[in-house]
Amino acid sequence: MSTTSCRCFLSFLVGFLLLIAGGFFNAEVFAQQKLGDVYEGAATVQVQGENYVVARKKAVNLALKNGLEEALKEAMGEDEFEASQRDLRKILRRASHYVKSYRFAEAHDDPFEKTSEVRLEMRFFSSAVRQALAGL
């Protein structure tokens, strides 16, 4: 192997390692920026006819709506959110369309009170929410 090819290989290796190391630093900063986009929604729904599955599904949908309301209030401000309540109904009605992911922070079915309660942590497609707001 000639010295020129060794230098090229070493330059390539150093560049590759710097690229990998830079990716780790960027991932850490990216994770810190995305920390604020987690919203929480909670809902309690009355169970009809011992059907806890349907009640849980309704509670999840309602909790997603509540979480989207929180996100919209943060994005628009409390006063503008209240003033635009009528226009926002369409967006809130289709809250599940804007959800990127969610997880159950808590879920509880109460057989004595006949209720299903959920608390979710969710992330939204911020570009889709902004686009929907721009369309109003």
Could you list the pLDDT tens digit for every one of the 136 residues in the chain? 566 666 766 666 666 655 565 655 544 443 333 334 799 999 999 999 999 999 999 999 999 999 999 988 888 888 988 888 888 998 999 999 999 999 999 999 999 999 999 999 999 998 888 888 888 7
- CA dihedral over 92, 97, 102, 108, signed as positive or negative: positive
pLDDT at 129: 87
| Closest of 91, 96, 99, 92 to residue 136, by C-alpha | 91
